[in-house]
Amino acid sequence: MRGTLRSMYAGLPSALLGSMPSAASFFVVYDGVKREMIDNDTPASQQAYAHMLASSLGEIAACAIRVPTEVVKQRAQAGLFGGSTLLAFQDILGLRRSDGYTTMVRELYRGGGVTIMREIPFTIIQFSLWEYFKDSYSKRQHRRHGRQPGMVSATESALFGSAAGAIAAGLTTPLDVLKTRIMLERKESGASSERAGAVIVLRQIRAQEGIAGLFRGFVPRVGWISTGGAIFLGTYQYISNMLGSDWR
């Protein structure tokens, strides 16, 4: 039982360490870009473009922090080093002595490119849908009940965030599978840095597991991201409303 619980929470320290600063980086950029590009007179088509651009730039900023912690987390969760986050991190840091700092940094950002390839489409879908759901609902409530334009409660935002997250998670599952496989490939000290790239890994998955292999983990991914979207975006909306933000 103890071992089961430990394996379930393997990589948790790394995830916790990276989640807060990466989320903060995302929203600083996301809200900053929205504030510059959107006002009360901005057409709906331009708002959609602004949401896509803001979410893309925000995700790039977040990935600069998230990717190293994600690499460590994935290796701990895969059972490498007994599931120890610290040992997984020390293994990567050890490359600075055997292979140099450049190799160490490259290993910390292993899979960074494919992570951004996954996260940007995911974030564009999630946040564009979330903003669309909120805008459509608030306009309908304004027409029917005279609610203040643009106003959405935290509970409503959580429901929209959950739906948007589930859709985005399902559509980007193949990219998540690809990212995980690349990140789990560990570099041995002194070994050649030439390892399978995204295209080769994708072909390997299709050849060995078929199309179904690209959707491995579909149900749990949709489930936890849907739940996370509700908590994350519901909390964001609550704080935004509490602070009296008049831009969304």
* CATH number, residue 211: 1.50.40.10
DSSP letter, residue 112:
H
Give the Å distances, CA to CA, from 12 to 8, 100, 153, 219: 9, 28, 31, 21
27 vs 112: CA distance, rounded Å: 20
Portion of the chain with pLDDT greater than 70, in percent: 84
Question: Out of 70-74, 126-130, 219-223, which region has the weakest mean confidence (pLDDT)?
Answer: 70-74
Looking at residue 159, its pLDDT comes to 98
- How confident is residue 163, by pLDDT bands cut at 50, 70 and 90? very high
Q: Is the pLDDT of residue 108 over 50?
A: yes
Quick one: which of 155, 136, 138, 135 has its CA closest to 237?
155
Residues 6+ apart with CB under 8 A from 211: none
Per-residue pLDDT at 227: 97
Q: How far is residue 100 from each of residues 94, 119, 143, 192, measured CA to CA in Å?
A: 9, 29, 63, 13
Name the residue among 72, 86, 60 with its Cα closest to residue 183: 72
Q: For residue 248, is it within any domain?
A: no
Band of residue 7 on the pLDDT scale cut at 50, 70, 90: low
Helix (H) or strand (E) holding 30: helix 12-37
Say what the pLDDT of residue 149 is.
78
Q: Which two tokens stand for residue 239?
A: 């704080």
| Residue 142 counted as domain residue | yes
Phi-psi region of 79 (alpha: psi -120 to 50; beta: other; left: phi over 0): left
pLDDT in tens, 184-235: 765 544 444 445 677 888 888 888 888 899 999 999 999 999 999 999 999 9
pLDDT at residue 247 greater than cutoff 50: no
- Residues 33, 147: Cα–Cα separation, whole Å: 27
Tell me the pLDDT band of 248, cut-offs 50, 70 and 90. Answer: very low
Name the packing angle between helices 154-171 and 218-242 (round to 10°).
150
> Rounded to the nearest 5 degrees, what angle is found at the Cα of 99, between the Cα atoms of 198 and 60?
40
Distance CA 179, CA 118 (A): 8
Name the more confident of 153 and 103: 153
Q: Give residue 153's domain range.
A: 2-242
In a domain, 23, yes or no: yes
Do the domain assignments include residue 25?
yes
- How many Å apart are CA 247 and CA 239, to the nearest integer? 13
Is 159 part of any domain?
yes
Structural domain count, the chain: 1
CA distance linking residue 196 with residue 204, whole number of Å: 10
Residue 247 domain flag: no
- The pLDDT assigned to 166 comes to 98
Query: In this predicted structure, which of 56-70, 168-182, 195-209 has the lowest mean pLDDT?
Result: 195-209
For residue 27, tell me if it sits in a domain: yes
169 membership: H or E segment, kind and range? helix 154-171
CA distances, 128 to each of 102, 147, 160 (Å): 37, 23, 11
Direct distance between the N- and C-terminal alpha carbons of the chain, in angstroms, rounded to an integer: 46
User: What's the chain's average pLDDT?
Assistant: 83
When mean pLDDT is compared across 50-64, 128-142, 185-199, 209-223, the lowest value belongs to: 185-199
For the chain, the residue count is 248
Q: What is the pLDDT of residue 134?
A: 95
